[in-house]
Chains A and B, each alone.
Chain A
Amino acid sequence: MAVDGSVLAGLQQEVGVAHSEDLGEISAILVKRFAAAVGDPNPLYNDSDHARACGYADVIAPPNFLTAVINWNPGAPYDQLREDGTEADTHLPGVPAQGVRIMGGGEEMTFLEPVVAGTVVMRTTVLLDVTERESSQGPMLIARYQDTYTDQSDVRLLESVRTVLLR
């Protein structure tokens, strides 16, 4: 199955519509596991005592942490996952739950404030635009999503623009 006019029309209806999601509290163990997975030994990411000695309330997250986490929900039952193993809730407003291949096409991030463990984070997602292109493997849609991450005091932590390829 490939993208068709109905997929494009569904996406076009989403352009400019803001969707906000409470991502919950960024826990220290999430941050430390991410740092371990990346292989970054920076003590600001790994050692709560060191981070406190540096003036933070706890460890801070590596820069890409917020955008790297694919899904902030507990996870859907296995029989509700897509064929490719991903959650039906893709954090891509306007994209149908089945029948579309999704690929990352790059991301530009602006880091505004450090993300300290214990912070409760909100994310607002807006589809900026969607364009159609013919690829070697058939029709492809290119969608650009803007994500704004804020803390519980509405301070902006990070802004990003994701390019997503759909076919």
Chain B
Amino acid sequence: MATTPISLYPGAALAPVLHRTSKVQVFRFSGATWNTHRIHYDKDYAVAEGYPDVLVQMAPC
């Protein structure tokens, strides 16, 4: 059965994209983007900043 082609036009609603990341991916993304901010790999630092664990980077796709 043929699938329905995606119809793209300004204002079209796109299906949500869900992705569960991991600490390994967060670290590798920091490496690939030369992002040395401790908040992405140093849990003690992230906790001191008020977060439960390291943070995922902005716009990682």
Contacts and interface: CB of A to CB of B under 8 A. Distances in A.
A68 B25 contact: no
Contact of B25 (A39, A62, A70, A81): A39
Contacts, number: 62
B23 to A, nearest CB: 13
Chain B interface main SS type: loop
A33 B32 contact: yes
Contact of A107 (B34, B35, B58, B61): B58
Given A69-B33, A71-B34, A36 B60 contact: no
Contacts of B42: 85
Given A40-B61, A68-B59, A84 B45 contact: yes
A81 B36 contact: yes
Contact of A37 (B25, B37, B38): B25
A101 B21 CA distance: 25
B61 A62 contact: yes
A68 B60 contact: yes
Interface residues of B, number: 20
Given A67-B59, A84-B45, A37 B31 contact: yes
Contacts of A72: 34
A111 B29 CA distance: 21
Nearest to B27: A37
Interface in A17-59: 30, 33-34, 36-40
Contacts of B29: 37-38, 68
Interface string B1-36: 000000000000000000100000100110111111
Contacts of B37: 70, 84-86
A140 B24 CA distance: 32
Nearest to B60: A38
A64 B35 CA distance: 14
14 contacts: A33-B32, A37-B31, A38-B29, A68-B29, A68-B59, A68-B60, A69-B33, A70-B33, A71-B35, A72-B34, A81-B36, A86-B35, A86-B37, A87-B36
Interface of A: 30, 33-34, 36-40, 62, 64, 67-72, 75, 81, 84-87, 104, 106-107
